[in-house]
């Protein structure tokens, strides 16, 4: 039987970053009774009694009333390939303008197969040569690092501070790249409760980052997946809404606010391209052409489901996401409260284990005094029935050995409480931290 050798295939095959998601799925399948804080998946309660046909009918009705199509013409749009650019671009553009202040027309929007395709297409367009680099905040979502690996785009990491990306560090990296005859073409950044760290970038830091992007001639690839979880009144405008120089390409997804199974995302790319014949095109135009060679188009049926959900909420992303946002903030508060009760040290005792305290998002980052590696995860799963995600896989720089990520998004309250109780027993045994079992004393403010 003919066999291929791995060294004859793309060098990304076998890279741990491409196998990180599969690793977690594999260990979850081996320990189905374990309580898992590993996946950042949407809560299943929003899938109960989900009426796909109703949402599609809502979208069809909109086509009939707004575009003056017959019902048969509207239905046929769902059965054909459809335009690579998408079918719900106007709905997406209107919602982004209304809810987030992102003023870009439908022609600047490309509807993609999840945000992952948006990342791949954008990176492919911008990093054209071997000297074009992608900068990422360390730690970084593995999907972007994996896309760079598949495209042979070299990645440089910039440290994360308590206020998002280290701007001085990014400036240093840009200048170092130029001294080598290279250039940092873009920075991938998730300013709102990022995956995996849960960090939030302040308004002032966002403005400084935009100024630096203009000074150093780079683009910002903004991932806006978790901004909808911000507490009411504490929302910060996306980078794209603050962008006056065309430096931001905005990447979005409906997986968290609609239905993950639709695999519908989008990219807002209103940057102008000067063509060789002196004409002008939008970056979105080029992304749509590239998409036609990758996935041809995003499923029209899936787009109709998302479009119908938007229409049923007045075309508002905020209205669509409100119930989900409330649930995720509830789960996050329950997780932080349980960690405080189970793992805060006795007064006067050192804090062996520490964790972040985000106000939104899906993730809490925990630091241990020992490596949080695959072996420790195996022990947690097999001996204590609790799962988490090692943070080292999210670091381009090789850091994060002593960190883990906890996600609370898809768990019920009782499972969060029981999971943290199991986690506390595990950490007391393996790390030697936390209060004695059963203690319920309220922790001091930190």
214-269: per-residue pLDDT in tens? Answer: 999 999 999 999 999 999 999 999 999 999 999 999 999 999 999 899 999 999 99
The CA distance from 186 to 200, in Å, is: 20
Query: CATH number of 6-46+321-430: 1.20.58.110, 3.20.10.10, 3.90.1150.10, 1.10.10.10?
Result: 3.90.1150.10
Contact (CB, 8 A) for 361 and 229: yes
> What's the pLDDT band for 439 if we cut at 50, 70, 90?
very low
- pLDDT, tens digit, 9 for 90 and up, residues 132-186: 999 999 999 999 999 999 999 999 999 999 999 999 999 999 999 999 999 999 9
Average pLDDT, integer, range 439-443: 32
Residue 202's nearest CA partner among 232, 158, 246, 242 is 242
Write 28-33 long-range contacts (CB < 8 A, 24+).
28/387, 30/381, 31/381, 31/382, 31/385, 31/387, 33/385
DSSP string across 272-318: EEE-TTS-EEEHHHHHHHHHHTTTSS--HHHHHHHHHHHHHTTT-HH
Task: Quickly count: other Cβ atoms within 10 Å of residue 51's Cβ.
Answer: 11
Sole residue written with tokens 């992102």: 102
- Residue range 52-319, CATH number: 3.40.640.10
Write 176-179 long-range contacts (CB < 8 A, 24+).
177/133
> What's the pLDDT band for 6 if we cut at 50, 70, 90?
confident
95: buried, middle or exposed (CB in 10 Å: 19+, 13-18, 0-12)? Answer: buried
What are the structure tokens assigned to 399, written together? 């850091």
Contact (CB, 8 A) for 352 and 343: no
Q: What is the DSSP letter of 337?
A: H
Stretch among 30-34, 297-301, 302-306 having the lowest mean pLDDT: 30-34
HSE-CB of 86 using CA atoms within 13 angstroms: 30
Contact (CB, 8 A) for 114 and 253: yes
Give CA 56 to chain center in angstroms.
26
Q: pLDDT value at position 433?
A: 56
- pLDDT, tens digit, 9 for 90 and up, residues 81-137: 999 999 999 999 999 999 999 999 999 999 999 999 999 999 999 999 999 999 999
Q: What is the CA radius of gyration of the chain?
A: 23
Task: Look at strands 132-138 and 183-189 and give their pairing.
Answer: parallel
HSE-CB of 343 using CA atoms within 13 angstroms: 29
pTM over 0.75: yes
Domain spans in the chain, listed from the N-terminal domain onward: 6-46+321-430, 52-319
Average pLDDT, integer, range 30-49: 89
- pLDDT, tens digit, 9 for 90 and up, residues 255-300: 999 989 999 999 999 999 998 888 899 999 999 999 999 999 999 9
Give CA 106 to chain center in angstroms.
23
What H or E segment, with its residue span, contains residue 113? strand 109-113
The CA distance from 107 to 109, in Å, is: 5
pLDDT at 19 exceeding the cut of 80 = no
Sheet arrangement for strand 389-390? 354-355, 363-367, 403-407, 389-390
Sole residue written with tokens 């499923």: 299
> What's the pLDDT band for 308 if we cut at 50, 70, 90?
very high
Q: With H, G, I as helix, E, B as strand and everything else as coil, classify residue 347.
A: coil
The CA distance from 139 to 396, in Å, is: 7
CA-based torsion, 210, 212, 218, 220: positive or negative? negative
Question: How confident is the prediction for the chain on average, in pLDDT?
Answer: 92
């Amino acid at each position: 039987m003919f066999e291929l050798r791995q060294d004859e295939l793309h060098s990304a095959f076998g890279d741990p970053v491409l196998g990180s998601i599969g690793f977690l799925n594999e260990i979850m399948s081996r320990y189905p009774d374990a309580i898992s804080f590993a996946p950042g998946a949407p809560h299943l309660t929003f899938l109960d009694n989900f009426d796909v046909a109703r949402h599609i009918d809502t979208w069809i009705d909109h086509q009939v009333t707004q575009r003056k199509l017959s019902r048969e013409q509207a239905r046929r749009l769902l059965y054909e390939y459809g335009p690579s650019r998408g079918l719900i671009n106007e709905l997406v553009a209107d919602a982004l303008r209304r809810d987030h202040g992102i003023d870009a027309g439908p022609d600047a929007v490309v509807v993609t197969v999840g945000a992952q395709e948006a990342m791949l297409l954008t990176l492919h367009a911008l990093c054209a040569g071997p000297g074009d680099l992608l900068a990422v905040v360390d730690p970084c979502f593995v999907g972007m690092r994996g896309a760079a690996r598949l495209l042979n785009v070299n990645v440089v990491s910039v440290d994360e501070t308590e206020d998002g990306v280290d701007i001085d560090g990014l400036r240093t990296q840009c200048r170092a790249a130029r001294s080598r005859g290279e250039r940092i073409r873009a920075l991938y950044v998730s300013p709102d409760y990022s995956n995996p760290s849960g960090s939030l970038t302040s308004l002032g830091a966002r403005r400084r980052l935009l100024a630096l992007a203009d000074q150093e001639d780079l683009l910002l690839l903004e991932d806006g997946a978790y901004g909808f979880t911000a507490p009411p009144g504490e929302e910060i405008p996306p980078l794209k809404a603050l962008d006056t120089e065309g430096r931001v390409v905005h990447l979005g997804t409906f997986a968290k606010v609609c239905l993950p199974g639709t695999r519908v995302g989008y990219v807002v790319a209103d940057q102008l391209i000067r063509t060789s014949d002196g004409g002008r095109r939008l970056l979105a135009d080029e992304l749509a052409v590239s998409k036609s060679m990758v996935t041809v188009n995003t499923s029209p049926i899936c787009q109709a489901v998302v479009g119908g959900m938007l229409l049923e909420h007045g075309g508002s992303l905020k209205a669509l996401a409100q119930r989900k946002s409330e649930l995720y903030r509830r789960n996050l508060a329950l997780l932080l409260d349980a960690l405080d009760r189970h793992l805060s040290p006795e007064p006067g005792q050192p804090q062996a284990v520490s964790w972040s305290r985000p106000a939104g998002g899906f993730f809490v980052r925990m630091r241990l005094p020992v490596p949080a590696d695959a072996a420790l995860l195996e022990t947690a799963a097999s001996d204590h029935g609790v799962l988490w995600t090692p943070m080292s896989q999210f670091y381009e720089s090789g850091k994060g050995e002593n960190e883990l990520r906890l996600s609370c998004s898809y768990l019920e309250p009782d499972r969060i409480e029981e999971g943290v109780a199991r986690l506390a027993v595990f950490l007391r045994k393996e790390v030697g931290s936390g209060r004695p079992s059963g203690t319920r004393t309220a922790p001091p403010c930190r």
